[in-house]
Amino acid sequence: MKILVLNSGSSSLKFKLFMQKKLLASASGLIEQIGDEESSALLTFIDDLGNNKKLQLNSPIPDHRKAIKVMTVMLRESGMLTDLKELTGIGHRVVHGGESFQQPVRIDENVIAAIKKLIPLAPLHNPANLIGIEVAAEHAPRIPQVAVFDTAFHQSIPAHAYLYALPYYLYKKKKIRRYGFHGTSHAYVARQAAQYLDTPIEELNIITLHLGNGASAAAIQGGRCIDTSMGMTPLEGLVMGTRSGDIDPAILFYLARESGLGIDELDTLLNKKSGLKGICGDNDMRRICESAAQENRHAKFALNVFCYRLKKYIGSYMAALGGVDCIVFTGGIGENSGTVRWKCCLGMERLGISLDSRKNSLQQNDIREIQKKGSQISLLVIPTDEEYEIASQTLQVISDNNGAL
């Protein structure tokens, strides 16, 4: 049993190979700067003796077709996979499934057509995801391919949370609504949390906080998402590395009128020049925490704005859920920054949130709890694993289609 997970971006290809029914990760790779003179490919894997090994290649990789070839050669050299034909299935990360996909699906011509139709909603991501699907199908035409959508987990959100207060026809005609992203991560950590707490997920209210360069929160009731902070695009919600998250939309009209900024400049301003980077010039939370500890004024602003926004979302999702059993921190910042976790939980004791400073300061890679003993609400740090989740959903779809494997 071998499942390959592909995450095809506009100039990159991430891949991970899972073996056996237990889905053990055996090799993972990253091909970057596809289309550049400086492309690079790196594969890390565990050999027969259990040693960590690396294979590296630096030569121009002109397109995704060549990238998949390079991936195949590297996997063969590592001894992990002789041919793509050996695969049980290929799972693809697809960013936008719109309202068409509430579940992962086996890819066929209709699915490809539907993903193409959604390109206007994700003009940067869906075309890149489609290239990965097309090239993988060329190389391994008989291997089942499955699309796993970032938006699918959030399709359970009710209308009062996904509708914007805009003229209704904009939803009906233009599909303007909240979709939410990072769905595979939110779904994965919520399930892990339920397992850790040894409680059926159906009985839990969970807030999941995926805090990386992109950041989003989700409110999950009985295993179903009822609200999430990213919106029609990943720009809405929490403060992020370079994205503003929530702002007064009138700021855009003001900037257009007063400073003459055009649509593309406003897009770049909000998506690439705002967030942590906009406030303090850096989007690396580790460095920001270090600078803030040395009393750097702008680093302190950035950290404080980030954590205050986070706290507001925690509070609002506690209200939306009618109380919460567990809050999960994940993503590069959520898993590693004790400072951020501490700051966003500060002063929330009356709401049942009591963080244990000692447990919070411990660094470890496993799932762990950081609340004080007897605290009403469990606070968990859970390393996310989006590739594992995609592999697991891929396997599920293939098993459902073929009967038990």
Residue 55's Cβ-count burial label (10 Å; 0-12, 13-18, 19+) is middle
* Residue 234 touches ligand ADP, criterion: CB under 6 A: no
Give CA–CA dist 331/208, Å, rounded.
Answer: 10
* Residue 333 touches ligand ADP, criterion: CB under 6 A: yes
Report the Cα–Cα distance between both ends of the chain, in Å, rounded.
Answer: 9
Near ligand ADP by CB under 6 A, which window of 14-22, 42-50, 82-90, 331-339?
Answer: 331-339
Q: Which is nearer to ligand ADP, 265 or 284 (CB)?
A: 284
Tokens in use for 88?
């049980």
Q: Which is nearer to ligand ADP, 33 or 213 (CB)?
A: 213
* Residue 214 touches ligand ADP, criterion: CB under 6 A: yes
Residues with Cβ within 8 Å of residue 100, at least 6 apart in sequence: 114, 117, 118
* Residue 11 touches ligand ADP, criterion: CB under 6 A: no
Give CA–CA dist 108/161, Å, rounded.
Answer: 32
Q: How far is the CB of 289 from ligand ADP (least distance, A)?
A: 5
**Candidates 36, 83, 108, 150; catalytic one:** 150
Q: Do the bridges between strand 24-32 and strand 40-46 make them parallel or antiparallel, or are there none, so unpaired? A: antiparallel
| Candidate list 136, 285, 307, 377; residue touching ligand ADP; CB under 6 A | 285
Q: How far is the CB of 398 from ligand ADP (least distance, A)?
A: 27
* Residue 213 touches ligand ADP, criterion: CB under 6 A: yes
> Which residues, numbered 183-202, are part of the site for ligand ADP (CB under 6 A)?
none
Q: How far is the CB of 255 from ligand ADP (least distance, A)?
A: 26
| Candidate list 72, 145, 185, 337; residue touching ligand ADP; CB under 6 A | 337
Question: How many residues belong to the site for ligand ADP (CB under 6 A)?
Answer: 13
Q: Which is nearer to ligand ADP, 172 or 273 (CB)?
A: 273
* Residue 284 touches ligand ADP, criterion: CB under 6 A: yes
Q: Is 150 annotated as catalytic?
A: yes
Q: How far is the CB of 139 from ligand ADP (least distance, A)?
A: 27
Q: How far is the CB of 345 from ligand ADP (least distance, A)?
A: 16
* Residue 336 touches ligand ADP, criterion: CB under 6 A: yes
* Residue 383 touches ligand ADP, criterion: CB under 6 A: no
Near ligand ADP by CB under 6 A, which window of 12-20, 140-148, 196-204, 280-288?
Answer: 280-288
Q: How far is the CB of 335 from ligand ADP (least distance, A)?
A: 7
User: Are 204 and 195 in contact, with CB atoms under 8 Å apart?
Assistant: no
Near ligand ADP by CB under 6 A, which window of 27-35, 40-48, 210-218, 242-250?
Answer: 210-218
User: Are 185 and 210 in contact, with CB atoms under 8 Å apart?
Assistant: yes
Where do contacts with ligand ADP occur on this chain (CB under 6 A)? 212-214, 241, 284-286, 289, 331-333, 336-337
- Residues annotated as part of the active site: 150
